[in-house]
Amino acid sequence: MRKDTALSFRIPGRLKTELEKVALSEGRSLAQVCESLLTGGLEIYKKEGSKYLQRFISRHKKEDTSD
């Protein structure tokens, strides 16, 4: 698949650190890890629909408020 566009967004520093750890342990670039995780998440979304996203966002909000 040809890569023909860029995507840029802000994330919490701790998330970037965790992604970098995954990339290092897998011997891959940060971009490769992010692309793989986005692709995997999209595949789950296609199977489960908006319920997956709602469940994930709800869980994420609970974690943020408990910090």
Determine the length of the chain: 67
The reported pTM is: 0.79
- Residue 67: band (very low, low, confident or very high) from pLDDT cuts 50, 70, 90: low
Task: Write out the H or E segment, with its range, that includes residue 16.
Answer: helix 13-26
Q: How many CA atoms lie within 13 A of 16 on its CB side?
A: 5
pLDDT 10s digits, 7-48 = 999 999 999 999 999 999 999 999 999 999 999 999 999 999
